[in-house]
Amino acid sequence: MSNNYEKWEKKDGCGCKQCREAKDVKCPEKEKKEKCYQCKGKQNTFEFQSDERNYPKEIDYKPTVALRVTFDKICANDKVWLSGIVGVNNNTTFNDADLLLTIVRSVGDYDDIIYYQRYEVDLSLFDVFNDRTTIRFSHVEKESNEKRDVTYTVFVQRVDSSDINLQGPRTLTALRIS
């Protein structure tokens, strides 16, 4: 985003970044959070959030948090593109493992499942150290109403008696598009 002051209009009572840049007007610190989202001027076209983890963790029958991102605000008609990978290791003897990946959107105390997929993680019979893989996922969510403090969490859980672990790269990329 460039700092071209000609593009922005100063809105009365607004202390958001765009309005402060418009006429180089400074707002007191306490007003920044309260007034920031009242600006009706030009909005950012996108916002990027990401989460990366790489430490091993056992996957249980209960949903296990794999990745998480949070947006301060999502406007009506924004699209949120969630994309990522989850590295897993199948330690089961003589069986493939089944894994359920779920993405949950949380706003306040309200949780909503927006994506779920069941994956089969193959077991390599020829090389027991070669049964690691990455699960890829992608989902686009269109928001119908304005929301604040929206968290997207990727959960994984095993659905059978297999011994499967999170191992290797885990990455979640979230892009909010206005």
CATH number for the domain harbouring residue 64: 2.60.120.1340
pTM for the predicted model, two decimal places? 0.71
Domains identified in the chain, total number: 2
Secondary structure of the chain in the HEC alphabet? CCCCHHHCCCCCCCCCHHHHHHCCCCCCHHHHHHHHHHCCCCCCCEEEEEEEECCCEECCCCCEEEEEEEEEEECCCCEEEEEEEEEEEECCCCCCEEEEEEEEEEECCEEEEEEEEEEEECCCCCCCCCCEEEEEEEEEEECCCCEEEEEEEEEEEECCCCCEEEEEEEEEEEEEEC
| Same-domain check for residues 61 and 9 | no
| Same-domain check for residues 52 and 19 | no
| Same-domain check for residues 53 and 33 | no
| Same-domain check for residues 64 and 134 | yes
Q: Which domain holds residue 140?
A: 46-177
The pLDDT tens digits of the residues spanning 62-116 come to: 888 999 999 999 988 899 999 999 988 877 666 677 889 999 999 988 999 999 9
| Same-domain check for residues 27 and 96 | no
